[in-house]
Amino acid sequence: MAAEDEADGSGDSATSTSTSALEREDELDFYRGFVERYSPSKKEEPARDYLVNRLPELGFTVEVDDVGNVVAESPGGGDEVLLTSHMDTVRGKIPVRVEGGRLYGRGSVDAKGPLAAMCLAGSRLTDTDASVTVVGVVEEEVSGRGARHLTENREAPDYLVNGEPSGPETVTLGYRGILRLRYRVTGDVIHTARPGVNAIEDVMRFWSSVVGFEDPQEGFRSLSAKPTKIDSDSDGFRLDSELRGNLRIPPGRTVDGLKEQVQKAADNCNGDVYFGESTEPVLVDRSNPTARAFMRGIRDLGGEPGLSVKTGTSDMNVFSERWDTPMVTYGPGDSNMDHTPDEHMELEEFHRSIDVLEHVVRDLSLD
């Protein structure tokens, strides 16, 4: 585009190009500063404080709610579009640097990249009649606490975009649900040469039953089970053993149904099962208004829109359980980079997604 402007000899072209480059530099500065604030789950304060200080500069009215979510608003006269993603990351610091057209750092993809893009897209509309709210939520990686609090303490928006990496031209329509569980058993110490089932064997027997619930195929429409932690301890007389695990729930299965199956497995063993946080699977209609706005926006900007579903779980599961709102998940980045020691974002994708998000918010709130 810059070459074409120079070729036609327009006196304004150099100014336009310089302004565009300056805007991209400012966008990168905001994004990099956000990633530099290391904020693993339950320790989101550095990221929270960064947004509280920077977002008013972008034209938002900002507040922090009772659980630490950052809520930034630009209430115009149009329908409200809620853009939301999470401030927390998994643990593990990665030196933040820009290299080869990429930004490296923990959270650069999951999900400070999507949240930063939402903030910057919204900032382009704070002087219009668009009604845009951007929320950075806490504890998505561990419990969904921030999203749950949000749905319990405000009315549903007209439209919702959940921020997770999908790529700049792809919209995510579905996620599997999750059921977290803990199984614990205590028994007498048994000499390894004697017959009998000790606590460790009992845990293994329980988990073998749970794994038996898995579907033979893999992917979004399958049920899968993964252990996340196993421990044992003994005082010489009693042996304690505990296992923690997650079940990923496909569409067509329910949390309550799986709880019944898991409880039966525990009843056939010697321990007790405890259930943690859970969310139902979600699969939204590809023709819902938010999805259609993204299809239009990506095409209008010269892209080829795509649709995806994910085998993991996100805050979209929480929102869909509690709000009857047209929604999708969208954000820059390759989800294969999530939680990896090489986590990084292609900067062209990042800037591209800001344009798409701006287009979508204009479409939904103003048109």
Are residues 273 and 233 part of one domain? yes
CA distance linking residue 167 with residue 189, whole number of Å: 53
Distance CA 96, CA 33 (A): 9
Please say whether the beta carbons of 85 and 138 come within 8 A: no
Structure tokens at 99: 């290299």
Task: State whether 181 and 171 are in the same domain.
Answer: no
Quote the pLDDT of residue 27.
96
> What was the pLDDT predicted at 108?
98
The per-residue pLDDT string of the chain (367 residues; one tens digit each, 9 = 90 and over) reads 333 333 333 333 333 334 466 699 999 999 999 999 999 999 999 999 999 999 999 999 999 999 999 999 999 999 999 999 999 999 999 999 999 999 999 999 999 999 999 999 999 999 999 999 999 999 999 999 999 999 999 999 999 999 999 999 999 999 999 999 999 998 765 544 444 568 888 999 999 999 999 998 889 999 999 999 999 988 778 889 999 999 999 999 999 999 999 999 999 999 999 999 999 999 999 999 999 999 999 999 999 999 999 999 999 999 999 999 999 999 999 999 999 999 999 999 999 999 999 999 999 999 8
Active site residue 140: yes
- Whole-number pLDDT of residue 154: 97
Angle 112-123/13-36 helices, nearest 10 degrees? 140
pLDDT computed for residue 236 by the predictor: 78
My answer on whether 202 and 340 are in the same domain is: no
What pTM does this model have? 0.89
- 312 and 171 co-located in one domain: yes
* Same domain membership, residue 242 and residue 106: no
Q: Give dist(CA 63, CA 336) in Å, integer.
A: 33
The answer to whether residues 241 and 274 belong to one domain is yes
Name the domain boundary from 248, 279, 310.
279
Q: Which of 279, 309, 344 is a domain's end point?
A: 279
Domain boundary among 279, 304, 331: 279
pLDDT at 189: 56
Answer yes or no: do 71 and 109 share one domain: yes
Distance between CA atoms of residues 85 and 283, nearest Å: 18
CATH of the domain at 236: 3.30.70.360
Give me the pLDDT at residue 22, please.
Answer: 65
Peptide bond preceding 7 in cis form (omega within 30 of 0):
no
Quote the tokens at residue 296. 């239009």
Annotated active-site residue in 27, 73, 88, 164? 88
Count of H helices and E strands in the chain? 10, 16
Examine the domain organization and report whether 138 and 155 are in the same domain. yes
Distance CA 225, CA 289 (A): 34
Total domain count, the chain: 2
Residues 217, 305 within the same domain: no
pLDDT attached to residue 235: 78
The boundaries of the domain holding residue 344 are: 2-175+282-366
Cα–Cα dist 48/39, whole Å:
9
Half-sphere exposure of 366 (CA within 13 A, CB side): 15
8 carries an active-site annotation: no
Exactly one of 73, 140, 202, 358 is catalytic; name it: 140
pLDDT at 20 (0 to 100): 61
